[in-house]
Structure 1
Amino acid sequence: MINDINLGGVYVPGLLVIALAALFCTLLWLPLFTLSRRYRRLPWRPLMSLSTYIVTFFLLMQGLNALGLVV
């Protein structure tokens, strides 16, 4: 189960924290993708950015599940 996280008396949903971590990781990955020539030739880059976020979120959830932090 994803527990709430207490930040200075404010409870933040655990899924929101995971989503923000996935967003941060995606923002780190996208500049690396722009260096490749194939990324520049994609017809619709925002779709690639969204799919990168979804894959990053999925992999983060799978990793936390494997560690036993998320049930």
Structure 2
Amino acid sequence: MINDINIGGVFIPGLLIVALFTLVCTLLLVPLFSFSRLYRRLPGRPLINFSTYIVTYFLLLQGLNALGLLA
């Protein structure tokens, strides 16, 4: 189960940590997508970037759930 993390008396929710990790993963994935010719021709690339974040977040939560770290 993802618990709150205590840093200097400030509780940070576990899902916020997962969301920040997902943001880092997305920031690493988007430049890899930019090498693709198809990605350059897609309209609304900010929407594609946001969708990448949502899909990455979902997959990360599914992985944590499969490992038993998420209740």
Question: TM-score, structure 1 length as denominator?
Answer: 0.94
CA distance, structure 2, for counterparts of residue 50 and residue 32 of structure 1: 15
Instruction: Give RMSD over aligned pairs.
Output: 0.9
What letter matches 2:64 in structure 1? L
CA distance, structure 2, for counterparts of residue 8 and residue 68 of structure 1: 27
The answer to whether 1:59 aligns with 2:52 is: no
1:58 to partner: Cα distance = 0.2
Gapped regions of structure 2 (runs ≥ 5) = none
Look up the SS of the partner of 2:70 in the other structure.
coil
CA distance, structure 2, for counterparts of residue 68 and residue 6 of structure 1: 21
1:6 to partner: Cα distance = 1.6
For residues 18-57 of structure 1, the aligned pairs below 5 Å read 18-57=18-57
Tell me the number of residue pairs that the alignment of Structure 1 and Structure 2 aligns.
71
Gapped regions of structure 1 (runs ≥ 5) = none
Partner of 1:2: 2
1:7 to partner: Cα distance = 2.1
CA distance, structure 1, for counterparts of residue 36 and residue 8 of structure 2: 42
Question: TM-score, structure 2 length as denominator?
Answer: 0.94
Percent identity among equivalent residues? 70
